[in-house]
Amino acid sequence: MARTVIPANQAPAPSPKLNYLNNGHSLKSWLLTTDHKRIAILYLISVTVFFFLGGFFAMLIRLELLTPQGDLMQADTYNKVFTMHGMIMVFFFLIPVVPAVLGNFLVPIMIGAKDLAFPRINLLSWYLYIIGGLLISHVMLTGGVDTGWTFYSPFSTEYTNTKIVEAGIAVFIAGFSSIFTGLNFIVTIHRMRAPGLTWDRLPLFIWANYATSLIMILGTPVVAITIVLVAVERLFHLGIFDPRLGGDPLLFQHLFWFYSHPAVYIMVLPSMGVVSELIACFARKRIFGYKFVAMSSVALAVFGFLVWAHHMFVAGISLYAAMIFSFLSFSVGVPSAVKVFNWTSTLYKGSISYATPMLYAFGFIGLFTMGGLTGLMLATLGIDVHVTDTYFVVAHFHYIMVGGVLMGYLGGLHFWWPKITGRMYPEAWAKLSALLVYVGFNLTFFPQFILGYVGMPRRYWQYPPEFQALNVLSTAGASILAAGYLLPMIYFVWSLRYGAIADANPWAAAGLEWKTTSPPPTFNFDETPVVTWEAYNYDEIPHKERRVPVAR
């Protein structure tokens, strides 16, 4: 079979001793870096801290819910615990994680650029994230917030006496971190692609991050102004959402969900991009229906803005508005389904390996399918009236967020770990963790679908005794899940010192990032690559038979 000649200057360079990790060891060289790869590492560390903080609160929730009575903590404390769990997980983990960690690291390299368009703004993004994070931590340490992460008015504006304004400022600042990241990605992808890298040659991970960035810049400012209005209402008694002043609490919900629904696509789209990369590599095939998968990302971004009031079917909106939003919510299911079908079709006549990243990709497909189908149930008006505000919804979004987003992230982290660190993780332990995560996850959240349908409302500190058995199952699952998350913490850190040294392309994968060293040099490429091939040119990439890369 004819091979396209890959120019010599595009082959992996002989690994120099100097790479982005050891190019400067001082704290200042890290904290004042403008290197997108170092910023990605800074995000990796901070995002992981918040993940475990949010996870700690989740553990408290599950422990309390072991028994029907509220006996582990007071009701007010529990309300703060689930609020902080939600706020931290949504704003400080799920929204930034894939774009800020994997996106920051890979977007410039994947398009053959030396860095993002605005490296200093990238650093600013991280600092904004940290400032927001410090503020929210301060809120937690000085009493917490008890409104739920959705901080509905008038409870949040008039009735609670917790630190809404400070928490709002924290989220506002973190929101700008998100906006600047999105802005950076869009400009980078538009203006800094390597010669020959046309839009239809872009990796699907880039398409996914591009669509995500569109949502980030269009949606986030709306929640920002919503937070401002809540804050001024609390501070200066300006009654925007106050019914006693002729205001409308429903207006808050519209403004809030106008962002917060697209926000879930900010969370899931980049992870879907990861899954595309994983399946292509571990089936050694171009993704089936590349164009449709790319377009579906953009479709999700656009349609995602049209469905927000499906969170408000019983909130008091008009009958006809509810019908319109229900109809539109079904249409947004089509692009997601298209992706799942295309990924599955890619497996046909592939050459499939079961490396850990691929296991996570399989997990994503299965669990996202279940999460998405239950989303359709929620879009169905007659059913939503019954199950909204119950554990059914909680289960649905955890299937997408944890079964989807988090699995995609973990898969990506494993896949690109050798590129980021120059080391391989231990495969056996990684497979075990993936299994624990999968089993633990299903045991935690599947019972919650049932709990919701039989009537257990959400945000409940205590519940009728007949709900206990399912709650106990769920908590048991959570302990397994926790183990599945702790293990990678340990072995990833272990691998930094003891992992097998990785070469430039341990997976024999396609993509520009695999044409530079592991870890890459500070400026990514010695010479800007000139792209003359299509994405996922796996028929041209020789596959190595050995499983573990040879040390340098």
Which parts of 494-533 interact with another protein (CB under 8 A)? 523, 527-528
Task: Tell me the three state secondary structure of residue 374.
Answer: helix
The nearest distance, CB 424 to another protein, in angstroms, is 18
* Among 18, 71, 134, 195, contact with another protein (rule: CB under 8 A): 195
Nearer to another protein, 16 or 465 (CB): 465
Query: By C-alpha distance, which of 397, 325, 410 is closest to 149?
Result: 397
Give the number of residues in contact with another protein, rule: CB under 8 A.
137
Nearer to another protein, 273 or 371 (CB): 371
* Among 380, 468, 479, 532, contact with another protein (rule: CB under 8 A): 380
Is residue 52 a contact residue for another protein (CB under 8 A)? no
State which amino acid sits at residue 132. Answer: G
Is the bond leading into 262 cis (omega within 30 degrees of zero)? no
The nearest distance, CB 135 to another protein, in angstroms, is 20
Is residue 450 a contact residue for another protein (CB under 8 A)? no
Scanning 91-99, 153-161, 202-210, 488-496 for contacts with another protein by CB under 8 A, the matching segment is 153-161
Residues 6+ apart with CB under 8 A from 181: 96, 99, 100, 103, 104, 122, 125, 213, 216
- Per the CB < 8 A criterion, the answer to whether 418 and 508 are in contact is no
Q: What does the DSSP 8-state code read for residue 544? A: P
Please report, for residues 198, 252, 303, 315, 512, the alpha-carbon distance to residue 549 in angstroms, rounded to integers and kept in the order given.
32, 55, 43, 57, 19
Is residue 388 a contact residue for another protein (CB under 8 A)? yes
Burial of 527 (0-12, 13-18, 19+ CB in 10 A): exposed
Scanning 18-26, 147-155, 417-425, 436-444 for contacts with another protein by CB under 8 A, the matching segment is 147-155
Residues 6+ apart with CB under 8 A from 14: none
Is residue 315 a contact residue for another protein (CB under 8 A)? yes
* Site map (CB under 8 A) of another protein, residues 337-356, x = contact: xx-xxx-xx-xxxxxxxx--
Site for another protein in 105-124 (CB under 8 A): 113-119
Q: What is the DSSP string of 509-537?
A: --SGGGGS-SSPPTTS-SS-----S-TT-
Structure token pair of residue 522: 């500070």
Structure token pair of residue 270: 């980049």
Is residue 247 a contact residue for another protein (CB under 8 A)? yes
Is residue 446 a contact residue for another protein (CB under 8 A)? no
State which amino acid sits at residue 527. Answer: E
Q: What does the DSSP 8-state code read for residue 457? A: B
Nearer to another protein, 45 or 319 (CB): 319
Scanning 19-27, 269-277, 283-291, 428-436 for contacts with another protein by CB under 8 A, the matching segment is 283-291
* Site map (CB under 8 A) of another protein, residues 389-428, x = contact: xx--------------------------------------
Nearer to another protein, 335 or 495 (CB): 335
